[in-house]
Structure 1
Amino acid sequence: MSQISRYNPMDELFRGFFVKPMDLPSNVPPQQIKMDVKEQEGAYLVHAEMPGAKKEDIHVEIEGNQVSISSEVKQEKEVKEGERVLRSERYYGQVSRSFQLAHDIDESKASASFNNGVLELTLPKKAASNGKKLTIN
């Protein structure tokens, strides 16, 4: 006996809709800069994790008490078996982070270093000016 089934166009529409999406690889870097900010007596110490970034691609800008860190990240990974490429992954992107501190920063004394994917900033506080008292005539 032959089996007859009714054609439903909605079956075609939703075919593959409930299939589990492909998992992203675990080596794709996060889209944000994770950091620690510590306040010392005369300066702020900032550690910013920037995996996959190169020293020449990192930019730090200081304006008053505002600090901005940005970087362009490029990662490529290709897994081969003989001449066949089994998997090829790449990531290109830009990450940035801005934050404000309680005191203005002395830009002339600020320093930065980059080791093992961690940017370390030493941001000395500007000497507080006492202001000027005006005498009224």
Structure 2
Amino acid sequence: MASHLTRFDPVGPISRMDPFRSFDSLFNAFDLMRPLRAFDTERIRMDVSETDQAFVVRADMPGVKKEDVKVAIDGNEVTISADVSQEQEHEEGSSVWRERFRGQQYRSFTLPQQVDEEKATATCRDGVLELTLPKKPGSGGKQLTIQ
């Protein structure tokens, strides 16, 4: 048999008093954080796979034009950045509101081996950026034997 007992706290209701509660409720109809949740302004979601010859990166870039994407390679460090802007309009009954977002998405990561920048390629189709990053010969590092 389950018990549904609640501990009585005589000070609890007083400690939870918030004089601005009714003021804050005015803004509940307008979810001001919604545009920020729609865009992850710091992270670009991506997959990285490795073959014997190269690393292949597939990054989600929905709604971003390929002209707004920049890829920088420095040795084994890769940085992807994009200027993002989007507008949305919502209609509910007689209410209409618009949301705008402008910002920059970026992602920087380090690969376990140097990249041959001269042979690297990038394509952007249907909101997916694909990078083919060939490995630089002889830069795989050396594993030491412990004596």
Task: Indicate whether the TM-score tops 0.5.
Answer: yes
* Corresponding position of 1:67: 78
Residue aligned with 2:118, SS = helix
Question: Are residues 18 and 76 of structure 1, via their aligned partners in 2, closer, same or farther at CA, if it must alter by over 3 Å?
Answer: closer
* Corresponding position of 2:143: none
Aligned identity (percent) is 47
Q: Tell me the CA shift for residue 79 of structure 1.
A: 4.8
Answer 1 or 2: which has greater helix percent. 2
The answer to whether the 8 Å contact 2:81/2:106 transfers is: yes
Residue aligned with 1:99, SS = strand
Structure 2: segments with no counterpart, 5+ residues: 1-16, 141-147
* Corresponding position of 1:100: 110
1:108-119 correspondence to structure 2 within 5 Å: 108-119=118-129
Relative to the length of structure 1, the TM-score reads 0.74
Question: Are residues 37 and 15 of structure 1, via their aligned partners in 2, closer, same or farther at CA, if it must alter by over 3 Å?
Answer: closer
Count of residues in correspondence between the two structures: 118
- Report the residue type matching 2:46 in the other structure: M
Highest Rg: 1 or 2?
A: 1
1:33 aligns with 2:44: yes
* Aligned-pair Cα RMSD in Å: 2.9
Answer 1 or 2: which has greater strand percent. 1
- Report the residue type matching 1:72 in the other structure: D
Relative to the length of structure 2, the TM-score reads 0.69
1:13-32 correspondence to structure 2 within 5 Å: 13-16=19-22, 19=25, 21=28, 22-23=30-31, 24=34, 28-31=38-41, 32=43
* Corresponding position of 1:44: 55
